[in-house]
């Protein structure tokens, strides 16, 4: 089963878990990232191939 993650779409490319997001880590805080202060975006992460994809997309390895 694939998992929900949250990503920074800026230069740092941070990926955080759903638990981290639910605990309050909701914006990028990476120094030097062009999206610092912007909200993370929800994505799905394939547990087989590690690919990230949007929730509405269908992913096939």
**pTM for the predicted model, two decimal places:** 0.90
Band of residue 1 on the pLDDT scale cut at 50, 70, 90: confident
Q: Is residue 42 part of a domain?
A: yes
- Give the count of domains, the chain: 1
- Residue 7 located in a structural domain: yes
**Is there a domain that residue 35 lies in?**
yes
Exposure of 10 in the CB half-sphere (CA atoms within 13 A): 16
Query: Can you list the alpha helix ranges (DSSP code H) found in 1-61?
Result: 18-22
Max Cα separation, the chain? 35
In a domain, 59, yes or no: no
- 8-28 pLDDT, tens digit per residue, is 999 999 999 999 999 999 999
Is there a domain that residue 60 lies in? Answer: no
The answer to whether position 37 is within a domain reads: yes
**Domain span including residue 30:** 3-53
Could you tell me if residue 16 is inside a domain? Answer: yes
């Amino acid at each position: 089963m694939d998992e929900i993650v949250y990503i920074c779409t800026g230069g740092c490319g941070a990926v955080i878990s759903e638990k981290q997001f639910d605990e309050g880590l909701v914006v990028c805080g990476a120094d030097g990232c062009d999206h610092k202060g912007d909200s993370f975006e929800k994505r799905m992460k394939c547990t087989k191939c590690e690919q990230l994809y949007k929730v509405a997309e269908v992913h096939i390895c």
